[in-house]
Amino acid sequence: MAKKQFKTESKRLLDLMINSIYTHREIFLRELISNASDAIDKRYYAAMQAGNTGLNRDEYEIRIEVDEQQRTLSVTDDGCGMSAEELETNLGTIAKSGTRAFAQSLENAEDINVIGQFGVGFYSAFMVADKVTVYSHKEGETAAVWESTGEDGYTVSECDYEPIGTKIVLHLKANGDEANYDEFLQEYRLSSLVKKYSDYIRYPIRMQVGHQQKKEGTEDEYETVYEDQTLNSRVPLWSKNKNEITKEEYNAFYRDTFYDFEEPASVLHIRTEGMLSYTALLYLPKKPPFDFNTKGFKRGLKLYANGVMIMESCEELLPEYFGFVKGLVDSPDLSLNISREMLQHDRQLSAIANNLKKKIQQELLRMLKDERDAYAEFFRAFGRTLKFGVYDNYGMNAEFLKDTLLFHSRALDKEITLKEYVDAMPEGQKQIYYAAGDSLAHVLKLPQTEKVAEKGYDILCLTDDVDEFALRILREYDGKPFASVSDPSLDLATDDEKKAMEEKKTESKELLDRIKTALGDRVSEVGLTDRLKSAVACLTGEEGMSVEMYKVLRQMPNGETVPMTFRLELNPEHPLFKKLGTLNDAQLGEYAELIFAQAKLMAGLPLDDPAAFSEAVCKLM
């Protein structure tokens, strides 16, 4: 029989499993049982959809068998089974993007310790076995067997495995110096592994367990009697009462189900009955999964209909801005008879989703109030997603999300909410000031911030590219409009100051015109500003589009074409400004170039001609 080769990524993952020195090899059992349970769900779900409602869910089972002589361990299910073709595609390639990314990311053996973080799936069998045989029989297909000893590929052929379902036989590796595989032949060890990782599996996981019994009619002769035992309690964690579940149980379930190393930042266990009945178990993670910001990331909750998983990841249950939430929803009201496509437009489902998003928002606000530090940490991990949610969809969810946001306060040097900012505003302050830049250090040094800060007003420091867009969409908080310290229309001056400024503008008109002529189209206007203190000039965008927003847009696909002109604003109180009036046209031209370049640098914009700039500076020196 011709051997087939694994796809490259599969091969890499497989190599890793085979040569694994990972100490938690035991997770292979969890993976096989979880596949078995999924397969039974699939079979049951398909039967229900086909209108075959006479099935009894309790008649399905997952069976573990041990053969000590042969040193084999097998896991059998009466699930959907696989055709020869499916054996080939499902077991010869890595289907799941997460697992694929995992395999790609693993360059060295030390990383093996992160295995537990991922659902490594079927291949984990090779951590304990040197040969794996999979017998499978799908309804209406010829039964087939898949077999592999690892790296050198696999075979698929027809066979006469009768029952519908799948039997996976692991030929355990020989015991070596560093590992003893015999433990996976011991009933006690196996049953405690099932308890540890698979207790909530809703189908019975059965095993023949032998115990000694006195032989009938004898005094002291014993024989081993085998008895079928169900190893798992089968009660899904989420269907227990909250007060019966310990924090450890919640956390362990989270780690094993969602493959996170860390404990969750928060757990929400929701049960509602009445018009809409469902149970939800939601977790807010502490850190984003490795693929969170990639296309491969799948947002969604697991969806169960009365304990049977009908969707691995139901997107409709979570809005994008809460995409970081992990968890599941189980509802007796969801009909198993409807197709996945129909489910997506299901009224029940959208009602549940609507409830959940409110619960999540409330939980975020609760954390913010009761566990400020934990919330701040959470926000560092996922705040960007929330801020993006404010901005996205034309601000449709801005109101709903605005109180979950944190921004860095310049005055307090820590993260604060918008409400905290407004509550701390001194008498007379009418706007909420913010400054945007690439980093906190950059923002703090922006020349435009000096005057605002001098007035005793706090400034929100924005460093995420989405920040300014989010605030602009919100427009105001509690009746106080947001104002960028760089905004040309920023209104800080008293009436007297304004009058004085007007006079200066008239006085300097000729000088400003000369500078504008020198700089040409690169600036839309040259004006005076009273918001600078130690700097001689700054650049601002036009109303509605700031320099920072321009920078963000430029980085987007096709962004090179975004048009932008800047206003150059000069500080009339600066000694250099006073000197400008005394220069001839040629000198003024050189000075104007330098001032413009400086202002660009401070705004974090690239220079058109860095060499010319450097030359001009040298000449001056």
**Binding region for ligand ADP (CB under 6 A):** 31, 35-36, 39, 77, 79-80, 82, 90-91, 95-96, 119, 121-122, 166
Nearest to 460 by CA among 487, 483, 490: 483
Are the C-beta atoms of residues 242 and 230 closer than 8 Å to each other?
A: no
Least Å from the CB of residue 230 to ligand ADP? 19
Least Å from the CB of residue 64 to Mg ion? 17
Residue 96 binds: one of ligand ADP, Mg ion, none (C-beta under 5 to 8 A by kind): ligand ADP
Residue 225 binds: one of ligand ADP, Mg ion, none (C-beta under 5 to 8 A by kind): none
Q: Give the strands of the sheet with 222-230, arranged side by side.
A: 154-158, 144-148, 129-137, 165-172, 72-77, 62-67, 205-214, 222-230
Least Å from the CB of residue 233 to ligand ADP? 22
Nearest to 280 by CA among 310, 301, 300: 301
Assign 94 to helix, strand or coil: coil
Q: Which parts of 417-560 are beta strand (E)?
A: 432-436, 459-462, 476-477, 480-484, 523-528, 537-540
Q: Which is nearer to ligand ADP, 77 or 530 (CB)?
A: 77
Q: Which is nearer to Mg ion, 116 or 121 (CB)?
A: 121
Q: Which is nearer to ligand ADP, 78 or 487 (CB)?
A: 78
Q: Which is nearer to ligand ADP, 315 or 590 (CB)?
A: 315
Q: Which is nearer to ligand ADP, 80 or 356 (CB)?
A: 80
Least Å from the CB of residue 314 to Mg ion? 18
Residue 90 binds: one of ligand ADP, Mg ion, none (C-beta under 5 to 8 A by kind): ligand ADP
Residue 79 binds: one of ligand ADP, Mg ion, none (C-beta under 5 to 8 A by kind): ligand ADP
3-class SS string, 530-559: CCCCCCCEEEECECCECHHHHHHHHHCCCH
In angstroms, the CA 121 to CA 77 distance is 16
Least Å from the CB of residue 139 to ligand ADP? 12
Tell me whether strands 432-436 and 480-484 are parallel, antiparallel or unpaired: parallel
CA atoms within 13 A on the CB side of 193: 22
Q: Which parts of 24-180 are beta strand (E)?
A: 62-67, 72-77, 129-137, 144-148, 154-158, 165-172
Least Å from the CB of residue 134 to ligand ADP? 8
Residue 389 binds: one of ligand ADP, Mg ion, none (C-beta under 5 to 8 A by kind): none
Least Å from the CB of residue 130 to ligand ADP? 19
Q: Which residue is nearest to Mg ion (CB)?
A: 121
Packed helices 610-620 and 585-602: angle between N→C axes, nearest 10 degrees:
120
In angstroms, the CA 436 to CA 311 distance is 42
Q: Which residue is nearest to ligand ADP (CB)?
A: 121
Residue 118 binds: one of ligand ADP, Mg ion, none (C-beta under 5 to 8 A by kind): none
Residues that bind Mg ion (CB under 5 A): 35, 121
Q: Which is nearer to ligand ADP, 115 or 536 (CB)?
A: 115
Residue 530 binds: one of ligand ADP, Mg ion, none (C-beta under 5 to 8 A by kind): none
Q: Which is nearer to Mg ion, 103 or 349 (CB)?
A: 103
In angstroms, the CA 455 to CA 453 distance is 5
Residue 319 binds: one of Mg ion, ligand ADP, none (C-beta under 5 to 8 A by kind): none
DSSP class of 6: P
Q: Which is nearer to ligand ADP, 103 or 398 (CB)?
A: 103
